[in-house]
Structure 1
Amino acid sequence: MMDQKQEMYEFVNRGDEHYMAHISIDSVIFGFHANQLKVLLVKIRHDDRWALPGGFVRKEETMEEAADRVLRERTGLNNIFLRQFHVFSDIHRSNTEKFLELMRSEGIEVKKNNWLTQRFISVGFYALVNYEDAIPSSNWDSEVCEWFDLQNVGELILDHNKIIESALETMRRQLNFQPIGYNLLPEKFTMPELQRLYETILGKTLDRRNFQRKMLGYGILDRLEERRKGGAHKAPYLYKFNLEQYQKALKEGLQGGW
Protein backbone atom coordinates (compact mmCIF):
# COMPACT_ATOMS: atom_id res chain seq x y z
CA MET A 1 0.00 0.00 0.00
CA MET A 2 1.36 3.47 -0.95
CA ASP A 3 1.97 6.02 1.80
CA GLN A 4 0.45 9.49 1.49
CA LYS A 5 3.54 11.08 -0.05
CA GLN A 6 3.84 8.35 -2.69
CA GLU A 7 0.14 8.66 -3.43
CA MET A 8 0.57 12.40 -3.90
CA TYR A 9 3.58 11.90 -6.17
CA GLU A 10 1.70 9.41 -8.34
CA PHE A 11 -1.33 11.72 -8.64
CA VAL A 12 0.75 14.78 -9.49
CA ASN A 13 3.10 13.18 -12.01
CA ARG A 14 0.94 10.41 -13.49
CA GLY A 15 -2.57 11.71 -12.97
CA ASP A 16 -2.91 12.71 -16.61
CA GLU A 17 -3.05 8.98 -17.45
CA HIS A 18 -6.36 8.74 -15.59
CA TYR A 19 -7.89 12.24 -15.57
CA MET A 20 -9.10 14.67 -18.21
CA ALA A 21 -6.73 17.57 -18.84
CA HIS A 22 -7.77 21.21 -18.30
CA ILE A 23 -11.12 20.34 -16.64
CA SER A 24 -11.80 20.47 -12.91
CA ILE A 25 -14.82 20.48 -10.60
CA ASP A 26 -15.58 22.80 -7.69
CA SER A 27 -18.40 21.78 -5.37
CA VAL A 28 -20.42 24.21 -3.25
CA ILE A 29 -21.91 21.91 -0.61
CA PHE A 30 -24.62 23.62 1.41
CA GLY A 31 -26.04 22.50 4.75
CA PHE A 32 -28.49 24.13 7.16
CA HIS A 33 -28.01 24.05 10.92
CA ALA A 34 -29.12 26.21 13.87
CA ASN A 35 -30.91 28.58 11.46
CA GLN A 36 -27.67 29.18 9.56
CA LEU A 37 -26.79 28.27 5.99
CA LYS A 38 -23.47 26.42 6.03
CA VAL A 39 -20.91 25.68 3.33
CA LEU A 40 -18.32 22.92 3.45
CA LEU A 41 -14.69 24.06 3.06
CA VAL A 42 -11.28 22.36 3.11
CA LYS A 43 -8.06 23.71 4.60
CA ILE A 44 -5.28 23.49 2.00
CA ARG A 45 -2.05 21.86 3.18
CA HIS A 46 0.72 24.37 3.93
CA ASP A 47 -1.62 27.28 3.26
CA ASP A 48 -3.52 29.56 5.63
CA ARG A 49 -6.48 29.80 3.28
CA TRP A 50 -9.48 27.58 2.74
CA ALA A 51 -11.07 26.29 -0.45
CA LEU A 52 -14.12 24.59 -1.86
CA PRO A 53 -13.95 20.80 -2.17
CA GLY A 54 -12.98 19.99 -5.71
CA GLY A 55 -11.58 17.34 -7.97
CA PHE A 56 -10.95 16.15 -11.49
CA VAL A 57 -12.85 14.11 -14.05
CA ARG A 58 -11.66 10.57 -14.68
CA LYS A 59 -11.47 9.56 -18.32
CA GLU A 60 -14.19 6.94 -17.86
CA GLU A 61 -16.58 9.30 -16.01
CA THR A 62 -19.18 11.82 -17.03
CA MET A 63 -18.96 15.26 -15.44
CA GLU A 64 -21.95 14.43 -13.24
CA GLU A 65 -20.44 11.14 -12.08
CA ALA A 66 -17.23 12.93 -11.13
CA ALA A 67 -19.16 15.56 -9.14
CA ASP A 68 -21.12 12.84 -7.37
CA ARG A 69 -17.87 11.06 -6.48
CA VAL A 70 -16.34 14.26 -5.06
CA LEU A 71 -19.48 14.82 -2.98
CA ARG A 72 -19.43 11.25 -1.68
CA GLU A 73 -15.74 11.43 -0.79
CA ARG A 74 -16.23 14.66 1.18
CA THR A 75 -19.52 13.88 2.95
CA GLY A 76 -20.03 10.12 2.82
CA LEU A 77 -23.48 10.71 1.27
CA ASN A 78 -25.15 9.25 -1.81
CA ASN A 79 -28.21 10.24 -3.87
CA ILE A 80 -27.97 13.92 -2.96
CA PHE A 81 -29.51 16.92 -4.74
CA LEU A 82 -26.68 17.98 -7.05
CA ARG A 83 -26.84 20.52 -9.86
CA GLN A 84 -24.34 22.00 -12.31
CA PHE A 85 -24.70 25.78 -12.27
CA HIS A 86 -21.84 27.57 -14.05
CA VAL A 87 -18.51 27.24 -15.84
CA PHE A 88 -15.61 29.33 -14.54
CA SER A 89 -13.04 30.05 -17.24
CA ASP A 90 -11.14 33.19 -16.30
CA ILE A 91 -7.74 32.98 -17.98
CA HIS A 92 -5.89 33.83 -14.78
CA ARG A 93 -7.92 31.75 -12.31
CA SER A 94 -5.19 29.09 -11.84
CA ASN A 95 -2.17 29.67 -9.58
CA THR A 96 0.73 27.55 -10.79
CA GLU A 97 3.27 29.06 -8.41
CA LYS A 98 1.15 28.24 -5.36
CA PHE A 99 0.81 24.65 -6.55
CA LEU A 100 4.57 24.32 -7.09
CA GLU A 101 5.19 25.84 -3.66
CA LEU A 102 2.91 23.24 -2.10
CA MET A 103 4.73 20.42 -3.86
CA ARG A 104 8.14 21.74 -2.78
CA SER A 105 6.97 21.90 0.82
CA GLU A 106 6.00 18.22 0.51
CA GLY A 107 9.36 17.34 -1.03
CA ILE A 108 7.77 16.24 -4.29
CA GLU A 109 9.47 16.83 -7.62
CA VAL A 110 7.12 18.07 -10.33
CA LYS A 111 7.99 17.01 -13.84
CA LYS A 112 8.29 19.62 -16.58
CA ASN A 113 5.02 20.58 -18.32
CA ASN A 114 3.09 18.82 -15.58
CA TRP A 115 -0.65 18.50 -16.29
CA LEU A 116 -1.57 20.28 -13.05
CA THR A 117 0.42 23.38 -14.01
CA GLN A 118 -1.73 23.95 -17.10
CA ARG A 119 -4.78 26.18 -17.34
CA PHE A 120 -7.94 24.65 -15.87
CA ILE A 121 -11.57 25.48 -16.57
CA SER A 122 -13.77 24.58 -13.61
CA VAL A 123 -17.35 23.38 -13.72
CA GLY A 124 -19.33 24.45 -10.66
CA PHE A 125 -21.81 22.12 -8.95
CA TYR A 126 -23.87 22.86 -5.88
CA ALA A 127 -25.27 20.27 -3.52
CA LEU A 128 -27.85 20.39 -0.73
CA VAL A 129 -27.14 17.98 2.11
CA ASN A 130 -28.47 17.23 5.57
CA TYR A 131 -25.95 18.76 7.97
CA GLU A 132 -26.50 16.04 10.57
CA ASP A 133 -25.93 13.18 8.12
CA ALA A 134 -22.77 14.50 6.45
CA ILE A 135 -19.37 13.31 7.68
CA PRO A 136 -16.80 15.88 6.44
CA SER A 137 -13.59 14.18 5.26
CA SER A 138 -10.21 15.53 4.16
CA ASN A 139 -7.75 13.84 1.78
CA TRP A 140 -4.10 14.07 0.76
CA ASP A 141 -4.24 17.69 -0.43
CA SER A 142 -6.13 19.08 2.58
CA GLU A 143 -5.55 19.17 6.32
CA VAL A 144 -9.17 19.35 7.45
CA CYS A 145 -12.72 19.62 6.10
CA GLU A 146 -15.24 21.70 8.08
CA TRP A 147 -18.56 23.54 7.91
CA PHE A 148 -18.54 27.34 7.91
CA ASP A 149 -21.38 29.82 8.34
CA LEU A 150 -21.89 31.26 4.89
CA GLN A 151 -21.18 34.84 6.03
CA ASN A 152 -17.93 33.81 7.76
CA VAL A 153 -16.02 32.06 5.00
CA GLY A 154 -13.40 34.82 4.67
CA GLU A 155 -11.07 35.05 1.68
CA LEU A 156 -10.78 31.73 -0.14
CA ILE A 157 -8.25 30.61 -2.74
CA LEU A 158 -8.50 31.52 -6.42
CA ASP A 159 -12.06 32.48 -7.44
CA HIS A 160 -13.83 30.32 -4.84
CA ASN A 161 -15.64 33.25 -3.21
CA LYS A 162 -17.07 34.10 -6.62
CA ILE A 163 -18.11 30.47 -7.12
CA ILE A 164 -20.02 30.44 -3.81
CA GLU A 165 -21.81 33.68 -4.69
CA SER A 166 -22.77 32.29 -8.08
CA ALA A 167 -24.15 29.11 -6.47
CA LEU A 168 -26.18 31.17 -4.00
CA GLU A 169 -27.62 33.31 -6.81
CA THR A 170 -28.60 30.15 -8.68
CA MET A 171 -30.33 28.77 -5.60
CA ARG A 172 -32.26 32.02 -5.15
CA ARG A 173 -33.47 31.85 -8.75
CA GLN A 174 -34.45 28.23 -8.24
CA LEU A 175 -36.77 29.20 -5.40
CA ASN A 176 -38.94 31.04 -7.93
CA PHE A 177 -39.90 27.88 -9.77
CA GLN A 178 -38.80 24.83 -7.75
CA PRO A 179 -39.13 23.68 -4.13
CA ILE A 180 -36.13 23.50 -1.87
CA GLY A 181 -35.53 22.10 1.59
CA TYR A 182 -35.84 18.33 1.34
CA ASN A 183 -32.07 17.77 1.53
CA LEU A 184 -31.41 20.61 3.97
CA LEU A 185 -33.93 20.00 6.73
CA PRO A 186 -34.49 16.99 9.00
CA GLU A 187 -37.33 14.64 8.08
CA LYS A 188 -39.74 16.51 10.41
CA PHE A 189 -39.68 20.30 10.72
CA THR A 190 -41.89 23.23 11.65
CA MET A 191 -43.21 25.92 9.33
CA PRO A 192 -41.04 28.58 11.07
CA GLU A 193 -37.97 26.41 10.47
CA LEU A 194 -38.81 26.08 6.78
CA GLN A 195 -39.44 29.82 6.54
CA ARG A 196 -36.10 30.56 8.20
CA LEU A 197 -34.37 28.41 5.57
CA TYR A 198 -36.02 30.37 2.75
CA GLU A 199 -35.21 33.70 4.41
CA THR A 200 -31.58 32.69 4.89
CA ILE A 201 -31.17 31.74 1.25
CA LEU A 202 -33.03 34.79 -0.06
CA GLY A 203 -31.40 37.20 2.38
CA LYS A 204 -34.69 38.88 3.28
CA THR A 205 -37.62 38.60 5.69
CA LEU A 206 -40.84 36.98 4.47
CA ASP A 207 -44.34 37.58 5.77
CA ARG A 208 -45.31 34.62 7.98
CA ARG A 209 -48.91 34.25 6.81
CA ASN A 210 -48.13 34.67 3.13
CA PHE A 211 -45.27 32.18 3.38
CA GLN A 212 -47.42 29.55 5.06
CA ARG A 213 -50.29 30.04 2.61
CA LYS A 214 -48.00 29.75 -0.39
CA MET A 215 -46.15 26.68 0.89
CA LEU A 216 -49.36 24.85 1.76
CA GLY A 217 -50.81 25.84 -1.60
CA TYR A 218 -47.99 24.03 -3.41
CA GLY A 219 -49.23 20.72 -1.99
CA ILE A 220 -45.72 19.46 -1.22
CA LEU A 221 -46.10 19.38 2.58
CA ASP A 222 -47.91 16.94 4.86
CA ARG A 223 -48.88 18.29 8.28
CA LEU A 224 -48.36 15.77 11.07
CA GLU A 225 -50.34 15.44 14.27
CA GLU A 226 -47.13 15.96 16.24
CA ARG A 227 -45.98 19.31 17.61
CA ARG A 228 -42.51 20.65 18.33
CA LYS A 229 -42.10 20.46 22.09
CA GLY A 230 -39.85 22.40 24.44
CA GLY A 231 -40.41 25.97 23.21
CA ALA A 232 -41.61 28.90 25.27
CA HIS A 233 -44.54 29.61 22.92
CA LYS A 234 -47.37 27.44 21.66
CA ALA A 235 -45.80 24.36 20.16
CA PRO A 236 -46.02 24.53 16.32
CA TYR A 237 -47.10 21.57 14.24
CA LEU A 238 -44.47 19.42 12.54
CA TYR A 239 -44.46 18.90 8.79
CA LYS A 240 -42.70 16.60 6.38
CA PHE A 241 -42.30 16.76 2.62
CA ASN A 242 -44.63 14.69 0.48
CA LEU A 243 -41.89 13.17 -1.67
CA GLU A 244 -44.17 12.23 -4.55
CA GLN A 245 -45.48 15.79 -4.84
CA TYR A 246 -42.02 17.26 -4.16
CA GLN A 247 -40.45 15.28 -7.01
CA LYS A 248 -43.33 16.25 -9.28
CA ALA A 249 -42.78 19.92 -8.42
CA LEU A 250 -39.07 19.59 -9.22
CA LYS A 251 -39.96 18.33 -12.69
CA GLU A 252 -42.97 20.50 -13.48
CA GLY A 253 -42.12 23.64 -11.53
CA LEU A 254 -44.07 25.89 -9.17
CA GLN A 255 -46.12 29.00 -9.83
CA GLY A 256 -45.09 32.32 -8.32
CA GLY A 257 -41.82 33.67 -6.97
CA TRP A 258 -40.47 35.15 -3.78
Structure 2
Amino acid sequence: MALKRNIESIVVNGASMFLPSVSVDCVIFGFHDNEMKVLLLQMKHTDEYGLPGGFVLKDEALDAAATRVLQERTGLTDIFLQQFATFGEPKRSDKKFHLKAMKKEGITIDKNNWLLQRFITVGYYALVDFSKVIPKIDELSIGCSWFHLQNVPTLMMDHNLILNKALETMQQQINHQPIGYNLLPQKFTMPELQKLYEAILNKKLDRRNFQRKILVYGILKKLKEVKQGVAHKAPFLYSFDIKKYNQALKNGYTGGW
Protein backbone atom coordinates (compact mmCIF):
# COMPACT_ATOMS: atom_id res chain seq x y z
CA MET A 1 0.00 0.00 0.00
CA ALA A 2 2.92 2.36 0.64
CA LEU A 3 3.98 2.05 -3.01
CA LYS A 4 0.48 2.96 -4.23
CA ARG A 5 0.39 6.01 -1.97
CA ASN A 6 3.78 7.08 -3.31
CA ILE A 7 2.64 6.84 -6.95
CA GLU A 8 -0.68 8.46 -6.11
CA SER A 9 1.11 11.35 -4.43
CA ILE A 10 3.24 11.90 -7.55
CA VAL A 11 0.15 11.83 -9.79
CA VAL A 12 -1.82 14.23 -7.59
CA ASN A 13 0.91 16.55 -6.29
CA GLY A 14 3.54 16.29 -9.01
CA ALA A 15 2.47 19.49 -10.77
CA SER A 16 3.37 21.49 -7.66
CA MET A 17 6.65 19.61 -7.05
CA PHE A 18 8.23 19.22 -10.50
CA LEU A 19 9.00 21.39 -13.51
CA PRO A 20 6.17 20.95 -15.99
CA SER A 21 6.98 18.96 -19.15
CA VAL A 22 10.68 18.48 -18.31
CA SER A 23 12.40 15.18 -17.46
CA VAL A 24 15.83 13.55 -17.51
CA ASP A 25 16.72 10.14 -18.96
CA CYS A 26 19.98 8.44 -18.06
CA VAL A 27 21.99 5.97 -20.10
CA ILE A 28 24.14 4.10 -17.58
CA PHE A 29 27.08 2.25 -19.14
CA GLY A 30 29.19 -0.40 -17.43
CA PHE A 31 32.01 -2.71 -18.61
CA HIS A 32 32.01 -6.40 -17.66
CA ASP A 33 33.54 -9.55 -19.16
CA ASN A 34 35.06 -7.44 -21.97
CA GLU A 35 31.61 -6.19 -22.97
CA MET A 36 29.89 -2.82 -22.73
CA LYS A 37 26.54 -3.07 -20.98
CA VAL A 38 23.66 -0.70 -20.24
CA LEU A 39 21.37 -0.66 -17.21
CA LEU A 40 17.66 -0.95 -18.06
CA LEU A 41 14.41 -0.98 -16.10
CA GLN A 42 11.72 -3.59 -16.72
CA MET A 43 8.47 -1.67 -16.51
CA LYS A 44 5.43 -2.80 -14.53
CA HIS A 45 2.23 -3.82 -16.31
CA THR A 46 3.99 -4.22 -19.66
CA ASP A 47 6.68 -6.28 -21.40
CA GLU A 48 8.66 -3.14 -22.23
CA TYR A 49 11.99 -1.94 -20.88
CA GLY A 50 13.15 1.64 -20.45
CA LEU A 51 16.04 3.83 -19.40
CA PRO A 52 16.22 5.08 -15.81
CA GLY A 53 14.74 8.55 -15.68
CA GLY A 54 12.85 11.00 -13.57
CA PHE A 55 11.36 14.43 -13.15
CA VAL A 56 13.13 17.66 -12.18
CA LEU A 57 12.19 19.37 -8.93
CA LYS A 58 11.28 23.02 -9.27
CA ASP A 59 14.30 24.16 -7.26
CA GLU A 60 16.70 21.56 -8.69
CA ALA A 61 19.41 21.94 -11.34
CA LEU A 62 19.24 19.54 -14.30
CA ASP A 63 22.61 17.97 -13.45
CA ALA A 64 21.48 17.49 -9.86
CA ALA A 65 18.29 15.75 -11.03
CA ALA A 66 20.29 13.37 -13.24
CA THR A 67 22.74 12.67 -10.41
CA ARG A 68 19.84 11.91 -8.08
CA VAL A 69 18.33 9.45 -10.57
CA LEU A 70 21.69 7.73 -11.03
CA GLN A 71 22.28 7.41 -7.30
CA GLU A 72 18.81 5.96 -6.81
CA ARG A 73 19.37 3.32 -9.53
CA THR A 74 23.00 2.38 -8.84
CA GLY A 75 23.75 3.26 -5.23
CA LEU A 76 26.89 5.11 -6.40
CA THR A 77 27.87 8.66 -5.52
CA ASP A 78 31.08 9.18 -7.53
CA ILE A 79 29.77 9.04 -11.10
CA PHE A 80 31.06 10.32 -14.44
CA LEU A 81 28.02 12.11 -15.86
CA GLN A 82 27.64 14.03 -19.11
CA GLN A 83 24.68 15.72 -20.73
CA PHE A 84 24.61 14.81 -24.41
CA ALA A 85 21.32 15.74 -26.11
CA THR A 86 17.74 16.99 -25.72
CA PHE A 87 14.79 15.05 -27.12
CA GLY A 88 11.63 16.99 -27.84
CA GLU A 89 9.53 15.37 -30.53
CA PRO A 90 5.90 16.44 -29.90
CA LYS A 91 4.59 12.88 -29.67
CA ARG A 92 7.51 11.27 -27.81
CA SER A 93 5.54 11.02 -24.54
CA ASP A 94 3.40 7.89 -24.26
CA LYS A 95 0.04 8.83 -22.74
CA LYS A 96 -1.28 5.29 -23.15
CA PHE A 97 1.56 3.90 -21.05
CA HIS A 98 0.78 6.23 -18.13
CA LEU A 99 -2.98 5.67 -18.39
CA LYS A 100 -2.53 1.89 -18.43
CA ALA A 101 -0.03 1.95 -15.56
CA MET A 102 -2.25 4.12 -13.37
CA LYS A 103 -5.30 1.98 -14.12
CA LYS A 104 -3.37 -1.15 -13.12
CA GLU A 105 -2.38 0.62 -9.88
CA GLY A 106 -6.03 1.45 -9.22
CA ILE A 107 -5.43 5.18 -9.62
CA THR A 108 -7.83 7.37 -11.59
CA ILE A 109 -6.02 9.95 -13.70
CA ASP A 110 -7.65 12.94 -15.37
CA LYS A 111 -6.93 13.55 -19.07
CA ASN A 112 -5.49 16.96 -18.17
CA ASN A 113 -3.14 15.55 -15.54
CA TRP A 114 0.42 16.83 -15.78
CA LEU A 115 1.76 13.32 -16.47
CA LEU A 116 -0.20 13.18 -19.73
CA GLN A 117 1.21 16.40 -21.15
CA ARG A 118 4.06 16.75 -23.62
CA PHE A 119 7.50 16.12 -22.10
CA ILE A 120 10.91 17.25 -23.30
CA THR A 121 13.69 15.10 -21.86
CA VAL A 122 17.38 15.87 -21.39
CA GLY A 123 19.68 12.92 -21.98
CA TYR A 124 22.67 12.11 -19.79
CA TYR A 125 25.10 9.25 -20.02
CA ALA A 126 27.06 7.85 -17.09
CA LEU A 127 30.11 5.61 -16.87
CA VAL A 128 30.14 3.42 -13.78
CA ASP A 129 32.13 0.59 -12.22
CA PHE A 130 29.98 -2.47 -12.97
CA SER A 131 31.19 -4.35 -9.90
CA LYS A 132 30.05 -1.60 -7.51
CA VAL A 133 26.53 -1.11 -8.85
CA ILE A 134 23.55 -2.37 -6.88
CA PRO A 135 20.65 -2.05 -9.39
CA LYS A 136 17.43 -0.74 -7.85
CA ILE A 137 13.90 -0.48 -9.21
CA ASP A 138 11.64 2.58 -9.08
CA GLU A 139 7.89 2.98 -8.48
CA LEU A 140 6.87 1.84 -11.97
CA SER A 141 9.38 -0.97 -12.56
CA ILE A 142 9.75 -4.56 -11.44
CA GLY A 143 13.35 -5.14 -12.49
CA CYS A 144 16.62 -3.32 -13.04
CA SER A 145 19.39 -5.23 -14.80
CA TRP A 146 22.30 -5.04 -17.24
CA PHE A 147 22.01 -5.74 -20.96
CA HIS A 148 24.79 -6.27 -23.50
CA LEU A 149 24.64 -3.47 -26.07
CA GLN A 150 24.13 -6.04 -28.82
CA ASN A 151 21.10 -7.53 -27.03
CA VAL A 152 19.11 -4.44 -26.09
CA PRO A 153 15.37 -5.07 -26.56
CA THR A 154 12.92 -2.62 -28.09
CA LEU A 155 12.53 0.09 -25.44
CA MET A 156 9.56 2.23 -24.51
CA MET A 157 8.87 5.55 -26.28
CA ASP A 158 12.06 6.92 -27.89
CA HIS A 159 14.51 5.30 -25.46
CA ASN A 160 16.29 3.30 -28.20
CA LEU A 161 17.00 6.60 -29.94
CA ILE A 162 18.32 8.11 -26.70
CA LEU A 163 20.55 5.07 -26.07
CA ASN A 164 21.96 5.12 -29.60
CA LYS A 165 22.70 8.85 -29.38
CA ALA A 166 24.49 8.32 -26.06
CA LEU A 167 26.67 5.57 -27.57
CA GLU A 168 27.42 7.73 -30.61
CA THR A 169 28.45 10.61 -28.32
CA MET A 170 30.72 8.35 -26.29
CA GLN A 171 32.36 7.01 -29.46
CA GLN A 172 33.07 10.59 -30.54
CA GLN A 173 34.40 11.50 -27.11
CA ILE A 174 36.87 8.63 -27.09
CA ASN A 175 38.68 10.28 -30.03
CA HIS A 176 39.60 13.40 -28.08
CA GLN A 177 39.15 12.58 -24.39
CA PRO A 178 40.20 9.66 -22.17
CA ILE A 179 37.71 6.98 -21.12
CA GLY A 180 38.20 4.19 -18.65
CA TYR A 181 38.70 5.57 -15.15
CA ASN A 182 35.04 5.04 -14.19
CA LEU A 183 34.67 1.74 -16.08
CA LEU A 184 37.74 -0.27 -15.07
CA PRO A 185 39.05 -1.45 -11.69
CA GLN A 186 41.79 0.63 -10.08
CA LYS A 187 44.46 -1.68 -11.54
CA PHE A 188 44.16 -3.16 -15.03
CA THR A 189 46.24 -4.56 -17.86
CA MET A 190 46.88 -2.99 -21.25
CA PRO A 191 44.85 -5.76 -22.99
CA GLU A 192 41.92 -5.03 -20.66
CA LEU A 193 42.06 -1.33 -21.52
CA GLN A 194 42.22 -2.16 -25.23
CA LYS A 195 39.21 -4.48 -24.87
CA LEU A 196 37.27 -1.58 -23.35
CA TYR A 197 38.07 0.71 -26.28
CA GLU A 198 37.18 -2.04 -28.75
CA ALA A 199 33.86 -2.67 -26.99
CA ILE A 200 32.95 1.03 -27.15
CA LEU A 201 34.03 1.47 -30.77
CA ASN A 202 32.71 -1.96 -31.81
CA LYS A 203 35.85 -2.69 -33.82
CA LYS A 204 39.26 -4.36 -33.44
CA LEU A 205 42.31 -2.22 -32.76
CA ASP A 206 45.94 -3.06 -33.55
CA ARG A 207 47.68 -4.00 -30.30
CA ARG A 208 50.97 -2.18 -30.94
CA ASN A 209 49.35 0.98 -32.28
CA PHE A 210 46.92 1.09 -29.38
CA GLN A 211 49.65 0.75 -26.77
CA ARG A 212 51.85 3.36 -28.46
CA LYS A 213 49.06 5.93 -28.71
CA ILE A 214 47.61 5.44 -25.25
CA LEU A 215 51.07 5.76 -23.65
CA VAL A 216 51.80 8.96 -25.58
CA TYR A 217 48.80 10.60 -23.91
CA GLY A 218 50.57 10.26 -20.55
CA ILE A 219 47.47 9.33 -18.58
CA LEU A 220 48.72 5.90 -17.43
CA LYS A 221 51.10 4.79 -14.70
CA LYS A 222 52.85 1.46 -15.23
CA LEU A 223 52.98 -0.45 -11.95
CA LYS A 224 55.62 -2.90 -10.77
CA GLU A 225 52.93 -5.53 -10.28
CA VAL A 226 51.80 -8.11 -12.82
CA LYS A 227 48.40 -9.74 -13.18
CA GLN A 228 48.12 -12.91 -11.13
CA GLY A 229 46.46 -16.18 -12.12
CA VAL A 230 47.02 -16.06 -15.88
CA ALA A 231 48.10 -19.06 -17.93
CA HIS A 232 50.76 -17.35 -20.05
CA LYS A 233 53.24 -14.55 -19.46
CA ALA A 234 51.70 -12.24 -16.90
CA PRO A 235 51.09 -8.71 -18.25
CA PHE A 236 52.00 -5.65 -16.20
CA LEU A 237 49.28 -3.77 -14.37
CA TYR A 238 48.54 -0.09 -14.97
CA SER A 239 46.53 2.58 -13.21
CA PHE A 240 45.36 6.00 -14.33
CA ASP A 241 47.30 9.11 -13.38
CA ILE A 242 44.25 10.94 -12.06
CA LYS A 243 45.73 14.44 -12.32
CA LYS A 244 46.76 13.97 -15.96
CA TYR A 245 43.54 12.08 -16.73
CA ASN A 246 41.45 15.00 -15.47
CA GLN A 247 43.60 17.45 -17.41
CA ALA A 248 42.98 15.43 -20.57
CA LEU A 249 39.24 15.39 -19.83
CA LYS A 250 39.30 19.17 -19.53
CA ASN A 251 41.67 20.05 -22.35
CA GLY A 252 41.25 17.07 -24.69
CA TYR A 253 43.91 15.56 -26.92
CA THR A 254 44.37 14.93 -30.61
CA GLY A 255 44.44 11.54 -32.26
CA GLY A 256 41.50 9.22 -32.77
CA TRP A 257 41.05 5.50 -33.13
Same-fold call, TM cutoff 0.5? yes
Q: Deviations over 1:135-191 (max 9, x none)?
A: 110121111111111111111111111111100000011011100000000000000
Whichever residue aligns with residue 165 of structure 1, its letter is N
Q: C-alpha separation between the residues in 1 aligned to 2:28 and 2:89? A: 22
1:244 matched to 2:243: yes
RMSD, aligned CA: 0.9
Gaps of 5+ in 1: none
- 1:49 counterpart residue number: 48
In 1, Cα distance between the equivalents of 2:112 and 2:48? 26
Query: What is the distance in 2 between the residues matched to 1:83 and 1:136?
Result: 20
| TM-fit CA distance, 1:91 | 1.4
- Contact 1:42 / 1:52 at 8 angstroms: preserved in 2? yes
Runs of 4+ with deviation above 3 angstroms: none
Q: Does 1:31 align with 2:30?
A: yes
Shift in Å at residue 111 of structure 1? 2.9
Kindly state the Cα deviation for residue 92 of structure 1 after the two structures are TM-superposed: 1.4
Per-residue deviation at 1:232?
2.0
Q: What's the offset of the Cα at 1:235?
A: 0.7
- Contact residue 39 and residue 149 of structure 1 kept, 8 A: yes
Alpha-carbon shift at residue 127 of structure 1 (Å): 0.2
Code of the residue aligned with 1:164 in structure 2: it is L
Give distance in 1, aligned partners of 2:71 and 2:104: 29
Following superposition, the deviation at residue 88 of structure 1 comes to: 0.7
Q: What is the count of residue pairs matched by the alignment?
A: 257
- The aligned counterpart of 2:190 is 191
Paired with 2:179 and 2:74, the residues of 1 have a C-alpha distance of 20
Deviation of 1:231 (Å): 1.8
In structure 2, the partner of 1:99 is: 98
Instruction: Indicate the SS of the match to 2:41.
Output: strand
> In the alignment, what sits opposite 1:202?
201
Q: Normalised by the size of structure 2, how large is the TM-score?
A: 0.98
Aligned residue in 2 for 1:172: 171
Show the counterpart of 1:232.
Answer: 231
Contact between 1:85 and 1:126, CA under 8 Å: does it hold in 2? Answer: yes
- The normalised TM-score by structure 1 is 0.98
What is the Cα deviation at residue 116 of structure 1? 0.4
Gaps of 5+ in 2: none
**What SS does the aligned partner of 1:224 have?**
strand
Work out the percentage of aligned pairs sharing the same amino acid: 56
Match of 1:149 in 2: 148
Does the alignment pair 1:116 with 2:115?
A: yes
User: Is contact 1:31-1:37 (8 Å) kept?
Assistant: yes
Q: Which amino acid aligns with 2:168?
A: E
CA-CA distance at 1:75 after TM superposition: 0.5
CA drift of 1:100 comes to 0.2
Instruction: After TM superposition, give the deviation of residue 233 of structure 1 in Å.
Output: 1.8
Please give the per-residue CA displacement for 1:110-144, whole angstroms capped at 9, x wherever unaligned. 13410000000110000000001111101211111
SS at match of 2:132: coil
Q: Which residue number in structure 1 is paired with residue 253 of structure 2?
A: 254
Looking at structure 2, the residues matched to 154 and 7 of structure 1 have their Cα atoms a distance apart, in angstroms, of 29
Maintained 8 Å contact 1:25/1:125: yes
What is the Cα deviation at residue 79 of structure 1?
2.5
Q: Could you tell me whether the CA contact under 8 Å between 1:13 and 1:111 is conserved in 2?
A: no
1:25/1:56 contact within 8 Å kept = yes
CA distance in 2, matches of 1:238, 1:164: 32
C-alpha distance in structure 1 between counterparts of 2:16 and 2:111, whole Å: 16
